[in-house]
Structure 1
Amino acid sequence: MLIIDESLFELEDAADDLVAAFWELPEAKIYQNALQAFENDGQLQEDVSLFVALRERFEEQKDYIKFRPEVRELKKQVLAQKRKVDTNEKMQNLRQAQTTLQSLLSDLAQDLSNVVSEDIFVDRALPFSPHKRPHKPGENIIERG
């Protein structure tokens, strides 16, 4: 049962302060600028929209790729449009800023979890970060407790 008292409000205020401080980091500012540049580029937005539309059309028809040559052509269009979007400098800047921000968030989550227990595993959700195998029965922190 949740007990609402002054400490809950203090915890909520601390969380709000943490979020505000996080958004003031230089890396967060870089992300915000990259996101704004991405959103303000009309041509890039059209390219992304076209890619999404092509991909959806391909996903609907991909089961027939062996029998219909136009589906193979559609796949080529999807890949060409993806390449066009992926090689856009603003898209690359946004993705790099997102990865940096995700790394900072993962570090923050790890630091917060370490306050509770060193045994808590935080999945960093980054491609090159270390991963732990899932817990075996009886090995997780709750069952050990």
Structure 2
Amino acid sequence: MLVATVERLQILDFAEELGKMIIQSDVAEQYRRSFYYMKRDEKAQQLISRFVQLKERYEEVQRFGKYHPDYKEVTKQVRDAKRELDLYEPIAAFKKAEKDMQLLLDEISTIIGRAVSENIKVPTGNPYFDSLSCGGGCGVGGTCGCRTK
């Protein structure tokens, strides 16, 4: 049975306030703006659509690997489409904004986790943050080379 305490309610209020601050941040605004422009850019949508189609074809060819007759051609087409996608400015701007947003969320998660304990595991998916501490999973007290305090 979960009992709502004043302290717990205050923590939830702070979390809600933090969420609002994140939403109102420059990083979040840039993310939304770049997403908006990318979604409304016809060429960006064409490049994305083409890449998705090629990727589906690639996955089909991958079932047979290099023995599929179209393996080299499809692999090259996917690489070329990916390069074109990555270099197109509205898509590149969105990817950068997305990365910046993820970095902000990772930083916040790490700060909150460390406020509780240095051994709290924070699933950031970012090797920089993951390597800052042991994360409590090595079980050898830091002799593995991780940072412990």
* Structure 1 length-normalised TM: 0.80
Q: Deviations over 1:31-80 (max 9, x none)?
A: 11111111111221121121111111111122434344323211211111
Give 3-state SS (helix, strand or coil) of 1:66's partner.
Answer: helix
The one-letter amino acid paired with 2:138 is K
Q: Distance in 1 between matches of 2:134 and 2:113?
A: 18
Q: Distance in 2 between matches of 1:127 and 1:87?
A: 25
Q: Where does 1:50-129 land on structure 2 (aligned, <5 Å)?
A: 50-126=50-126, 129=129
Measured on the aligned residues, the alpha-carbon RMSD in Å equals 2.5
Segment drifting more, 14-23 vs 111-120: 111-120
Give 3-state SS (helix, strand or coil) of 1:125's partner.
Answer: coil
Count of residue pairs the alignment pairs up: 140
Corresponding position of 1:136: 138
Q: Distance in 1 between matches of 2:72 and 2:10?
A: 59
Q: Which protein, 1 or 2, shows the higher relative CO under an 8 Å CA cutoff with sep ≥ 6? A: 1
Corresponding position of 1:27: 27
Contact 1:102–1:126 (CA under 8 A) maintained in structure 2:
no
- Structure 1: stretches of 5+ with no match in the other structure: 140-145
Contact 1:65–1:72 (CA under 8 A) maintained in structure 2:
no
The one-letter amino acid paired with 1:136 is C
Percent identity between the aligned chains? 27
Label 1:56 to 1:115 Cα distance change in 2 as closer, same or farther (>3 A).
Answer: same
Q: Distance in 1 between matches of 2:129 and 2:107?
A: 11
Q: Distance in 1 between matches of 2:128 and 2:5?
A: 42
Offset at 1:124? 3.4
Q: Distance in 2 between matches of 1:133 and 1:13?
A: 30
Corresponding position of 1:143: none
Give 3-state SS (helix, strand or coil) of 1:69's partner.
Answer: coil
